[in-house]
Amino acid sequence: MASEQLMSPASGGGGGGGGGGRYFQMQPEQIPSMVSSLFSFAPVPTQEANRIFEELPKAVIVSVSRPDASDISPVLLSYTIECQYKQFKWQLVKKASQVFYLHFALKKRAFIEEIHEKQEQVKEWLQNLGIGDHGPIVQDEDGDEVHLHQDESAKNRDVPSSAALPVIRPLGRQQSISVRGKHAMQEYLNHFLGNLDIVNSREVCRFLEVSMLSFSPEYGPKLKEDYIMVKHLPKISKSDDSSRCCGCCWFCCCNDNWQKVWGVLKPGFLALLEDPFDSKLLDIIVFDVLPVSNGNDGADVSLAVELKDHNPLRHAFKVTSGNRSIRIRAKSSAKVKDWVASINDAALRPPEGWCHPHRFGSFAPPRGLTDDGSQAQWFVDGGAAFAAIAAAIENAKSEIFICGWWVCPELYLRRPFESHMSSRLDNLLENKAKQGVQIYILIYKEVALALKINSVYSKRRLLGIHENVRVLRYPDHFSSGVYLWSHHEKLVIVDHQVCFIGGLDLCFGRYDTFEHKVGDNPSVTWPGKDYYNPRESEPNTWEDALKDELDRRKYPRMPWHDVHCALWGPPCRDVARHFVQRWNYAKRNKAPYEDSIPLLMPQHHMVIPHYMGRIEESDSECKNDEDSIKGIRRDDSFSSGSSLQDIPLLLPHEPVDEDGSSGGQKANGTTSRNGPFSFRKSKIEPVVGDTPMRGFVDDRNVLHLPEAKRRSNSIDSEWWETQERGYQVGSPDETGQVGPRTSCRCQIIRSVSQWSAGTSQVEESIHSAYRSLIDKAEHFIYIENQFFISGLSGDDTIKNRVLEALYKRILRAHNEKKSFRVVVVIPLLPGFQGGIDDSGAASVRAIMHWQYRTMYRGHNSILNNLYKTVGPKANDYISFYGLRAYGKLSEDGPVATSQVYVHSKIMIIDDRAALIGSANINDRSLLGSRDSEIGVLIEDKELVDSRMAGKPWKAGKFALSLRLSLWSEHLGLRSGEIDQIIDPVSDSTYKEIWMATAKTNTMIYQDVFSCVPNDLIHSRMAFRQSISYWKEKLGHTTIDLGIAPEKLESYHNGDIKRSDPIDRLKSIKGHLVSFPLDFMCKEDLRPFFNESEYYASAQVFH
């Protein structure tokens, strides 16, 4: 209708035209076409197919105002209308004239439908003659289709003019004009709000400012909606004039690519639809980063700002989010101001406004401050994590998101693989895709000359699975100019209900168990190229996945140690939001307008609601649903059908507030609902807005542990294995590789920037979290990481300051004369191909250089500085370790050893907090502007009795159980020996068990294998001599001297004694060994000028 059109005439040309509109003379032949368009007919579905309202809404006039108190004209009155539909509330401000236009539109509809009903008799007669075919629709002058009903008479849907007349001319003398107008308006609203067909008409839905997205609870409360004009979208194909920016045909103002769309504002985004009754997204502007401040401490930073146009008839504003800036027009200056205020309020309102700064500078707020359903569960090594991921994928009902540095479609998630053929990743995804589950996979597009992960092959295989599988590779190196950095996140998100995050990619070589076997001949556990040792050889192709790359009789696989975790509740949705941001950014950059690949059309039902159910639903139903991960069918306003030709722009979830409700609940009246996968309403009384944030964030001395959540359980030697774990995606096992599912405080942290996620600012919240946690640590820090490259203050080469934080914390403990331990476990050698002395292994040596520079060598190393300050006691404060395993390559084969490659990225603080993610400790991962990473900080709320530094201690259920699992694996402890390592700080644990085991194991491996690295080899010359000696003696050995002689020779009373190496190796406990700090200490390991790595940026290696 005319009142909803946008008038935006083009500026006129010619002398003195200024900003005036140009007119043209209407040709006579245009008039019949205009008239006929009023009653044009076309075959389309009836309106019942996409109703917005399933039940009648309510509307109450809460106030009446007029522009001038002296003005008594009822036409100028403005009415504030409070509407409610189910749990949604919103307010409208309408003028009497708009009600008048609505009434005429409804009367026109009734008139046309009455004509249509008269035609039914004729149509039936024609059909009997075999002539009639289609049911009609009409278009109004706005170009919007008027769907005609065929099941009721038009009389039942008619709004009598007698109801509208009092709105224009209120009756009565005894009351004021405002009171009489309010009464008349309320009576009129009651007329059309009492009929479900009228309420679902386009005229009324437009008047009420509602759309197909309005009442989908998963997207949050209803905020502002209206028609707006945008220019950045591709041409919307329409057969009518609905794209006109104004209601008249005489202005030539629609020729500059501006198009009318329906804007839907939600707390986290602004969605653009072609029409209120269309649920397909044209675009989405996600509010998740603040624009760069103009100064004044960011006080003037806004997402939406009003713009001044040289044409006074044009009214526009600009929305800036991330690296996107979109110009939008509205039909009046008042509309622009309303949009600007609404967007800024929705996006910036704390504590959950996505542009509001959060702790550590993260995009996501801390979760779990109240009982909001935040839960976590850990997995040690790939076998446990992959089984849980497979179970979650098998139970998926709606959508699956996968994000990886490397994804192998032929990966088996359960072993032995021959008895679990259906667990192969491509088979799992195919099965779910055939069931209608939408699958989105985002993989890193590598530089082929540097890496051999062959993402082209992975994409081709994944796209061949099913049309419901969508795959994007990113970045395009040439167009983006990004060659050195990678997308390093490892994510699996299922139905927005559970996500998996940590160090494990879904690729070859990652599956492992606590045994860390080095051999598999004949193949039972690791088929084909999954028998993987990158130190020996990297396959040139992955297309023949079941063909062995290594000779299993001669070479060991490289065991893989990793840590992963599952998250439920708001943290899971925060991870999904990160995926959405990256997906949409990659989509816009890869192929925004190409129809030949499925990138353009968004899905509209991609999320399972987290404002689940109604508040009246029983707790028993809620509990039954929470105890299942099998998902639900969506019960939203959208059709379950989806286009199989398009990759969508994905809608992010609206967060849950700290009291379990939506971020905008109080302002909009949206009520939290309990239902399938719902998160129970907080049992804690609502608190003042920033109270929990202040207690959680600002206290930097200790980790915040609410007394209300402290639960003390007496701990015995098998507590972490025998405790009641509740429902978890991973089943409890005897090896302790699956942790308890516990309620925690969680915060998602990440490293992203403009190139990786389209943000306007660099986010390095992982780096900030590391430094903050180290500073807060009271007794103990345990780190496992793939790399350990960091710098002290004043280091101009290495920028991250994890090392500086450790150094300062140790000095503080020394000055306070308190016991403090830092234990670091890292790989013994970088996991890249090439012998240490090989000409093609410059990258291996370069990484070794930067790691030794961090730990022990030079004035920038932590041990060198600690020795100067605290002397020999430095090793009491910090020590470094690796992992190693041994075994027979086959029943009659040789005994071999290999490092256990430490790929986990975790830090445990005081057995109360754990940081788990994909980020390494180096500049690449931590600075934010380089590799993209994601992690989670988990702080326990459920506490148990433990010990620390010889005294009673309240340890966290999650963090303590994770450390005990890791240490029992590394130390080879049996279930009855766990109590020996409860206290990680005491000398009886740290020195007599941990350090002693590492030293003993190191000596045995040296005696049997003389394997490298070791502290006896200080130069490349010594290394060459050792390699030459053992190759000559054994005939064959591995690249790191990993083959044992058939018999060990030792001197006993002057005689040579020969023994089986296995007998000596039986004394090894677990996998822990000391890190060889003196290895190659006389060599400069940096690349030389004759090596290609010399000319690469050093940033590549650190």
429-441 core/surface letters (b: 16 or more CB in 10 A; e: else): bbbbbeeebbbbb
CB 583 within 8 A of CB 442: yes
Question: In this structure, what DSSP letter does residue 505 have?
Answer: -
User: Residue 753 — φ and ψ, nearest 5°?
Assistant: -155, -170
Give the separation between CA 416 and CA 396, rounded to whole angstroms.
24
801-828 core/surface letters (b: 16 or more CB in 10 A; e: else): bbbbbbbbbbbebbeeeebbbbbbbbbb
Q: Which one from 490, 496, 517, 604 is the annotated catalytic residue? A: 490
Q: Which residue has the tokens 């009155």?
A: 77
Closest residue by Cα to residue 748 from 572, 591, 952, 969: 572
591-620 core/surface letters (b: 16 or more CB in 10 A; e: else): beeeeeebbbbbbbbbbbbbbbbeeebeee
Give the separation between CA 490 and CA 382, rounded to whole angstroms.
13
Q: 839 exposed, middle or buried (CB, 10 Å; 0-12, 13-18, 19+)?
A: exposed
Q: What is the per-residue pLDDT across 604-626, written as a single tens digit (0 to 9) for each?
A: 332 333 323 333 333 443 344 44
Q: Quick one: which H or E segment has residue 123?
A: helix 96-128
Q: Is the dihedral of CA 213, 215, 218, 223 positive or negative?
A: positive
Structure tokens at 1084: 């400069």
Q: 181 exposed, middle or buried (CB, 10 Å; 0-12, 13-18, 19+)?
A: buried
Give the separation between CA 1094 and CA 512, rounded to whole angstroms.
36
Closest residue by Cα to residue 1078 from 848, 826, 802, 860: 848
Please tell me the predicted confidence (pLDDT) of residue 251: 45
Structure tokens at 121: 């008799």
Please tell me the predicted confidence (pLDDT) of residue 49: 53
Is 905 a catalytic site residue?
yes
Closest residue by Cα to residue 989 from 858, 863, 823, 835: 823
Q: Is the dihedral of CA 810, 815, 816, 817 positive or negative?
A: positive
CB 443 within 8 A of CB 471: yes
Q: Which one from 147, 266, 335, 488 is the annotated catalytic residue? A: 488
76-110 core/surface letters (b: 16 or more CB in 10 A; e: else): bbebebebebebbbbeeebbbebbbbbbbbbebbb
HEC states along 902-966? Answer: ECCCEEEECCCEEEEECCCECHHHHCCCCCEEEEEEEEECCEEEEEECCEEEEEEHHHHHHHHHH
589, HSE (Cβ side, Cα atoms, 13 Å): 23
CB 964 within 8 A of CB 736: yes
3-class state of residue 1008 by DSSP: helix
Q: Which one from 505, 910, 983, 1040 is the annotated catalytic residue? A: 910
Closest residue by Cα to residue 1014 from 1006, 1022, 1024: 1006
Q: Quick one: which H or E segment has residue 1050?
A: strand 1048-1052
Please tell me the predicted confidence (pLDDT) of residue 710: 40
Beta-carbon neighbour count of residue 716 at 10 Å? 13
Average pLDDT, the chain: 79
Name residue 329's beta-bridge partners. 229, 316
Structure tokens at 394: 């098998």
Give the separation between CA 417 and CA 426, rounded to whole angstroms.
14
3-class state of residue 231 by DSSP: coil
362-380 core/surface letters (b: 16 or more CB in 10 A; e: else): bbbbbbbbbbbbbbbbbbb
Question: In this structure, what DSSP letter does residue 1099 have?
Answer: G
Stretches in the chain below the pLDDT threshold 70: 1-49, 67-74, 113, 116-123, 125-175, 238-255, 289-301, 350-352, 449, 477-480, 591, 593-735
Q: Beta strands 324-330 and 375-380: pairing type?
A: unpaired
650-679 core/surface letters (b: 16 or more CB in 10 A; e: else): bbbbbbbbbbbbbbbbebbbbbbbbbbbbb
3-class state of residue 1057 by DSSP: strand
User: Residue 794 — φ and ψ, nearest 5°?
Assistant: 95, -10
Q: Which one from 331, 459, 516, 903 is the annotated catalytic residue? A: 903
Q: 41 exposed, middle or buried (CB, 10 Å; 0-12, 13-18, 19+)?
A: middle
Please tell me the predicted confidence (pLDDT) of residue 94: 86
3-state helix, strand and coil shares in percent for the chain, rounded to the nearest 5: 30, 20, 50
Q: Which one from 144, 226, 275, 495 is the annotated catalytic residue? A: 495
Give the separation between CA 932 and CA 485, rounded to whole angstroms.
8
Please tell me the predicted confidence (pLDDT) of residue 74: 67
Structure tokens at 119: 């035609």
Q: Is the dihedral of CA 792, 797, 799, 802 positive or negative?
A: negative
Is 495 a catalytic site residue?
yes
Give the separation between CA 640 and CA 636, rounded to whole angstroms.
9
Q: Beta strands 878-888 and 1072-1074: pairing type?
A: antiparallel
Name residue 262's beta-bridge partners. 227, 273
Question: In this structure, what DSSP letter does residue 276 have?
Answer: T
Closest residue by Cα to residue 856 from 1079, 617, 1091, 621: 1079
Closest residue by Cα to residue 385 from 503, 254, 533, 270: 503
Return all residues near 795 (Cβ < 8 A) that are at least 6 apart: 860
Give the separation between CA 151 and CA 392, rounded to whole angstroms.
45
Q: Which one from 905, 954, 1071, 1102 is the annotated catalytic residue? A: 905
CB 622 within 8 A of CB 678: yes
Is 490 a catalytic site residue?
yes
Is 903 a catalytic site residue?
yes
Return all residues near 1085 (Cβ < 8 A) that are at least 6 apart: 845, 846, 848, 849, 852
Q: How many residues does the chain have?
A: 1102
Is 95 a catalytic site residue?
no
